[in-house]
Structure 1
Amino acid sequence: MKVSVIVPIYNTGKFLRECLDSLVKQIFDDYEIIIINDGSTDDSLEIAREYKASHENIRCYNNNKKGVSNARNLGFLKAKGDYIFFCDSDDYVDLSMLDKMYREITEAQAEVAVCNIYNVYDNGHKDIALSLPKEKILLNEDYQLTYKIINGTVFLANSAANKLYQREYLDSSNVFFEDTKKIYAEDACFNYLLYTTVNKICVIDEPLYYYRCKRNGSITNSYKPDLCNRMKYLLSTMIDTYSQLPQYEKLYPGIQNITYEFYIQLLYNEFKRNITYKEFKKIVIDKYFINILKGLNTAALSRNKKILYKLYFLKRYSLMYVFFMLRRGR
């Protein structure tokens, strides 16, 4: 078996047919589709069983509301393919995706292949999401690629869904998706940990994955009350792994950059509710973030982020509060 496609589903019946149609109609041969139903209460499971009945290369399993990370991990354990592709069930793919990505990753003998993404909007409009490196092959000599990725000079998207992974590499790295309830950005964590051991990544600068952008009222854009602890879990997991690398001191500024980006997201999240200044200040003075962010190199930051960082360490928390209040709802 060449490729295993893993599709976790949870109440995505509205979009699931388009997703599965794009997968079963691939111009590629020798692949399987593993659907993991995570306790859907709509018609998602019924649709999945319908496709399973008419396609021999589809298998379907139940996973009772354990989260997308657990569903992906289960799919990986059930997979028989030499390469692994994770697809979100409300998205869809180009009919040539598996063929092109498999050909590129095997010819390059790379551990990971990355393609570009189309952002798809409710009005039917779509645009290309990423500015990928011009090089077709990215080599990780002396952690140079790891350094560029965590510093943001090379951006391959945090998502696992625009990538094809070598099964042998995933097995040897022993990296799994962390529990969604514990961690923020489980895809990002998965990839950041893999990038510590990757040797070669091949780049296909063609939008082969169609990402359905979430509406403003969706869960993705709603207030997350546990976000602070989930971010700390993500950063601690990264630091635990990166601190064991011989180039940790060189890579640490990248950890700081990631921390600051997530920290800004955390503060924006808090203003999705009616947060008081007292509540805001309690979050801002959290020593966990202060200890990591001391000495951050702000040269590459946007003007607003530079200003926020300066206010942060000057302890001008009231001005920070006003800054986010003015941007609430934007």
Structure 2
Amino acid sequence: MKFSILIANYNNGKFFRSCYDSIIAQSYDNWEAVILDDSSTDDSLKVIKSIIGDDHRFKIFKNESNSGVGITKSKLIELAAGEICGFVDPDDAITPNALKSSIKIFKNQKNVVLTYSKYIKCDENLKEIDIPKNPMPVPNNDPFFFNCPVHIVHFVCFRKDIYETTEKMNTEMKIAEDQDLYLKMYEKGKVKFIDEANYLYRTHPGGISQNDNRPKSREYFSKVIFNAMQRRNLKMINGKTVPSQFSDSKQIYDLLEYQNSIPYRIQKKLRILVQQLFS
């Protein structure tokens, strides 16, 4: 089973050495790394090519013009030759067993369409800060699951053939395109949590979802959730009417406020436990 590591780069060549080192250190060796540069304005391509050298496992492509993360990641999936795909940002890295842990699940559990793990939050030098607690198991087959609060995060891997049956990546998204993908995959089968910290997430001023971009990320995520509600043909959520058109993010998040209550959280944990016992 081949694994396609997908890397969307834009002006992050200076961080790529750590990403590259983590990829070639994988304990699972049936992989390819597909890199698509979104018309970087710095010397990223030159740096990346110099690091890769003549390693045929890495395939490099470039957008003719800056197209945005939605289009770039959509193209990456199209370019992937592997049955399993997973995105790794060029300024981040993965642990040696990241691919192996995911592949093991996909081989043994045919109904799993997506896996995800814990991640390590790092500083700009990729030194560990902490391991966030938000990644955790989620209930499967729940039409009211929207990954809000966010539990499905790095390192996310998915079956390409199942992805092809979805509406695919929303190419208009500039932020939260990953959450859009996760919810579309969730609707096609089971998702599986890997209780390992398999992804090193670098925090730095240029991070696309960090710092000043957080309000924008929240806005885009609300649109992702609304689109999922429409796909699932939901008319009511917890006694409240789902709007037929998107107006503002607050209206969407208010619909899901009940999921933060203690009774709901307890009920959710019980559902997850039952699913784990009988899966």
1:44 aligns with: 44
Partner Cα separation in structure 2 for residue 107 and residue 235 of structure 1: 31
2:144 aligns with: 147
Q: Could you give the per-residue CA deviations for residues 210-233 of structure 1, whole angstroms, max 9, x where no partner exists?
A: 001234998731268977975664
1:242 aligns with: 232
Partner Cα separation in structure 1 for residue 188 and residue 239 of structure 2: 16
Q: Could you give the per-residue CA deviations for residues 152-211 of structure 1, whole angstroms, max 9, x where no partner exists?
A: 4x8223xxx411101111112232143234xx422112212222222x222211101000
User: Per the alignment, do residues 255 and 59 of structure 1 end up closer, same or farther by CA in structure 2, a change over 3 Å counting?
Assistant: farther
1:210 aligns with: 200
Task: Note the C-alpha offset of 1:54.
Answer: 2.4
1:188 partnered with 2:189: no
Partner Cα separation in structure 2 for residue 213 and residue 225 of structure 1: 17
The percent identity for this pair of structures is 22
User: Per the alignment, do residues 296 and 17 of structure 1 end up closer, same or farther by CA in structure 2, a change over 3 Å counting?
Assistant: closer
1:129 partnered with 2:120: no
Task: Note the C-alpha offset of 1:106.
Answer: 1.5
Confirm or deny: 8 A CA contact 1:130 1:156 kept in the other structure: no
1:114 aligns with: 116
Give TM-score, length-normalised by structure 2. 0.77
- Structural RMSD (CA): 3.6
SS at match of 2:11: coil
SS at match of 1:190: helix
SS at match of 1:105: helix
User: Counting helix residues as a fraction of each chain, which structure ranks higher?
Assistant: 1
| Equivalenced residues, count | 257
1:166 aligns with: 159
User: Per the alignment, do residues 240 and 54 of structure 1 end up closer, same or farther by CA in structure 2, a change over 3 Å counting?
Assistant: same
User: Per the alignment, do residues 227 and 87 of structure 1 end up closer, same or farther by CA in structure 2, a change over 3 Å counting?
Assistant: closer
Moved more, 287-296 or 123-132: 287-296
Task: Note the C-alpha offset of 1:11.
Answer: 0.7
Partner Cα separation in structure 2 for residue 155 and residue 227 of structure 1: 16
Partner Cα separation in structure 2 for residue 70 and residue 255 of structure 1: 34
Confirm or deny: 8 A CA contact 1:69 1:186 kept in the other structure: yes
1:156 aligns with: 152
Q: Which runs of 5+ in 1 are unaligned?
A: 260-285, 303-330
Q: Could you give the per-residue CA deviations for residues 280-301 of structure 1, whole angstroms, max 9, x where no partner exists?
A: xxxxxx9645765677655836
Q: Which runs of 5+ in 2 are unaligned?
A: 263-279
SS at match of 1:65: coil
Confirm or deny: 8 A CA contact 2:70 2:170 kept in the other structure: yes
SS at match of 2:144: helix
SS at match of 1:33: strand
User: Per the alignment, do residues 255 and 10 of structure 1 end up closer, same or farther by CA in structure 2, a change over 3 Å counting?
Assistant: farther
User: Which residues in structure 2 correspond to 1:25-44 (within 5 Å)?
Assistant: 25-44=25-44
